[in-house]
Structure 1
Amino acid sequence: MARLQSSAGPIFSIGEVLKDLRTEFPNVTISKIRFLEAHGLIAPARTPSGYRKFTPLNIERLRYILRMQRDYFLPLRVIQQHLDAMDRGLEPPEVGDTQPKAPRTLESTDALARMSVPTNVRLTKNELASNAGTQADFIDELVQYGIINVDSNNYFDGLALNITKQAQILRTFGLQARHLKTVSSSASREVDLFAPILKSARSGKNAASSPQAEELTLQIAAAIVSLHELLLRQFVEQQS
């Protein structure tokens, strides 16, 4: 019989999952899997008749839970915190640590590369402060002055993380959040400058698709970043 498929890929019955897991965890049982589901650590979909449908992601999640229990004796409460961080696009904290880490894909020292970092991560204020090497009260100041955005659930994204890192560097030179309002206002004016270009690209017979419009935005932003760098160098040289 052909393997059933879903939009997320192949799906497996609980018996098939058990057989697969027992190659690494010989003592795992169906009752154990159901127990983890009952406690909210996994959430397989169901068929109309009520049978569980496990995706490869469900199985990897089960493997992670079982490894954390077997290798590190972590309680379910702590494992749930790890899973919550992973669901928000973060890397779970190392054993003995308390804060999850932002994925390495967000780490870049190149200004242009930071323009296209993924933004689908969600960090709490304390996680943002920890990953940016700063304090929670500085995060509050950045939000107050409109330097970074926080969503309706009080989460920050990957852009907020990179902005905070740069703001923290400037802070070491004596520039506080209120001083960065000038930079933020300048960026807002620059968006107004090229907004008509983007509007034109998204309308008309030859309207660009969302990915194309995003690429155009990045190209314009990259040119502005380069122009900023050159103009700053020019002004510094004029004053020296």
Structure 2
Amino acid sequence: MNVDAGDLRSSLLALQQADSFFPAGAVAWSWGLETLVSDGRLGVPDEPTVRRRQRGMHRDRSAQVRGFVEGQLRHRWASFDRAFLIAAWHAADDLPALQVLDAEVEALTLAEELRQGSRRVGQSLLGVHVALGTQGAEAYQRQVLAGDAPGHLPVLQGLLWRRLGMDCNHCQLAAAHSLCTGLVSAAVRLGVIGHIDAQRVLTALQPLLLELLAQAPPAIDDACGFTPMAEIAVMRHETQDLRLFAN
């Protein structure tokens, strides 16, 4: 059997970039999940649950986590972030075009907390690639530091991963999988689900992820996100007394 060395290299790069061990800074963000848990809207243990735990019984709250992640995948990532990642991948050698895309993400992300999160995770990813010597990373970081580009995550994923040599499909898969694992990991750290249930959620999400990737991506002019409950939760996060995550 012949093996395409280029495809294997792209696959290996995607595995590295999507690995939670890669220090991209996304672990500090819950994208509204923490507030929803605190408000009792996503798997907060009640008194009967506590009693069940004391008897060695647990309520399965993975369905709620799965529903939250599905919403983020369908109504934010696939309909918005994906479009900008693909556009940035195609424009990886065109600095002015990348800056335009970056500015559009800034303008179309209405919640300040979401804008801040996307910028900070994107700039963290950029900083890692500058340290690793990825081609094009330092030049774009200069634009960000000069205030000429905000440095949003999907734009930087498209730029940096194209410069690494990842094909467009692998870039999309790595970005979507990273989102899923980041959200499920947040649920684990919040005590909503355990590690085994987290893996069940990720497995259950795979058919949806493949379905979304099989669909044509939206054009930039049609890109939009609609996750109102999560966005309100993100905006309310700063009012919480105890906070584990940045949003």
Question: TM-score, structure 1 length as denominator?
Answer: 0.24
Tell me the TM-score normalized by structure 2: 0.23
Larger radius of gyration: 1
